[in-house]
Amino acid sequence: MKEIKRISVTDSVVESIKSSILSGEYAPGDKLPTENSMCQEMGVSRTCVREAVRVLQAIGYVDILPGKGAFVSSKIGEGDQLWYEIPDAQFYDFMEVRMAIETLSTRLAIKRADRKQIQKLAEINNSFIEAVNEKNQIQLIMYDELFHTEIVKITGNKLLIAINKQIVTSGKKYRGESFMDNSVYKNAVIPHTKILEAFQSNDPEKGQAEMYNHLQITVNDMKQIYERSVK
């Protein structure tokens, strides 16, 4: 792994470890070096390494086994590196399905939501905004995922819930990667709030439209991230 020049930047440690995984230096199932070893190798603090490993766990690159250490996720394969990072057909196929499921779910959820469910969604949104303000990547990923899955859950449709579970699993690394970019998670605050307002005003059509707009912004954000990365 490469030595990190700025020891206070967790993102740099994340990128260094991720690069080692994607290059094949660490294969799926391999145990990562101990925190102390990585600290010495990269010239960073133990706290920084620990936080980076937690981020990698959140975005699906690493599995942490209590008492055993951190291991490269067995789900990492040759195709995982690129499918969400480049604007190819596979990425757009994924987003088309996500748009279809989540816009339908939003419309149904608004029709079926009770006051308690709407309040819970509002609390999740507040927690997401707090994470944005604190730039807490792990919390950002968690509350963004929770906001979207809670909407599907409110529908009460078991098939939609099951399909969405597969979508969430498939897109875990994509969600984590996107929130490594400051502009992306900031761009989610207003759309999430507008979707919540549609629940509060009992407006299914508005909610469906706001969810579509939100996911379209996500597609555009990922395209811009890719274009910047190849310049």
Q: Higher pLDDT residue, 76 or 159?
A: 159
Q: Are residues 126 and 219 in the same domain?
A: yes
Q: Are residues 41 and 129 in the same domain?
A: no
Percent of the chain with pLDDT over 70: 81
Domain range spanning residue 214?
82-229
Tell me the CA distances in angstroms from 37 to 1, 43, 65, 132, 182, one per residue in order. 11, 10, 18, 32, 30
Q: Which of 44, 76, 108 is the last residue of a domain?
A: 76
In a domain, 2, yes or no: no
Q: Which of 76, 93, 112 is the last residue of a domain?
A: 76
User: DSSP characters for 177-228?
Assistant: HHTTSHHHHHHHHHHHHHHHHHHHTT-HHHHHHHHHHHHHHHHHHHHHHHHH
Average of pLDDT values for 150-160? 96
Instruction: Specify the number of domains making up the chain.
Output: 2
Please report which confidence band the pLDDT of residue 32 belongs to, taking 50, 70 and 90 as the band edges. Answer: very high
Q: Are residues 130 and 199 in the same domain?
A: yes
Q: Are residues 47 and 87 in the same domain?
A: no
Q: Are residues 198 and 159 in the same domain?
A: yes
Q: Are residues 48 and 105 in the same domain?
A: no
In a domain, 181, yes or no: yes
Please report which confidence band the pLDDT of residue 228 belongs to, taking 50, 70 and 90 as the band edges. Answer: low
Q: Are residues 105 and 211 in the same domain?
A: yes
Tell me: the pLDDT tens digits for 98-153?
999 999 999 999 999 999 999 999 999 999 999 999 888 888 888 999 999 999 99
In a domain, 1, yes or no: no
> CA-CA distance, 154 to 215, in Å (whole number)?
19
Tell me: the pLDDT tens digits for 167-191?
887 776 666 666 666 667 788 999 9
Position 6 pLDDT exceeds 50? no
Q: Are residues 86 and 187 in the same domain?
A: yes
Q: Are residues 210 and 127 in the same domain?
A: yes
CATH code of the domain in which 72 resides: 1.10.10.10
